[in-house]
Amino acid sequence: EIALTQSPATLSAFPGERATLSCRASQSVNTFLAWYQQKPGQAPRLLIYDASDRAAGIPARFSGSGSGTDFTLTISSLEPDDSAVYYCQQRKNWPLTFGGGTRVEIK
């Protein structure tokens, strides 16, 4: 089973600042990695798939990068609406696995 480790656990930043979230896999997942955003009381929403492709309707301030074992989700200029928990997920091998999440707080 592929383990995904996300860091930091919590990120606190001001509106307009850049946020960088990390996801590390226990073995290579090539680029079979996705990122999801979950706000309180809501279902998750797909942001990025295959490491760097934005899902439909996702603002350009969200971008993904990486391959192999190290991945990054960047929010170029934080907005108040970006307050949420962000999860990475691999689809290289079954069982599918998620990282533990990074909570983004807007100051």
Partner 1 sequence: QVQLVESGGGVVQPGGSLRLSCAASEFTFRGYGMHWVRQAPGKGLEWVAFIRDDGKTSYYAHSVLGRFTISRDNSKNMSYLQMNSLRPEDTAVYYCAKDPSGWSGAFDFWGQGSMVTVSS
- DSSP letters for 27-96: S--TT-EEEEEE-TTS--EEEEETTTEEPTT--TTEEEEEETTEEEEEESS--GGG-EEEEEEE-SSSSP
Name the residue nearer to partner 1 (CB basis): 42 or 107. Answer: 42
CB of 50 to partner 1, least distance (A): 8
Provide the phi-psi class of 90: left if phi over 0, else alpha when psi is between -120 and 50, else beta: beta
CB of 105 to partner 1, least distance (A): 17
CB of 46 to partner 1, least distance (A): 5
Residues that bind partner 1 (CB under 8 A): 1, 32, 34, 36, 38, 42-46, 49, 55, 85, 87, 89, 91, 94-101
Name the residue nearer to partner 1 (CB basis): 69 or 76. Answer: 69
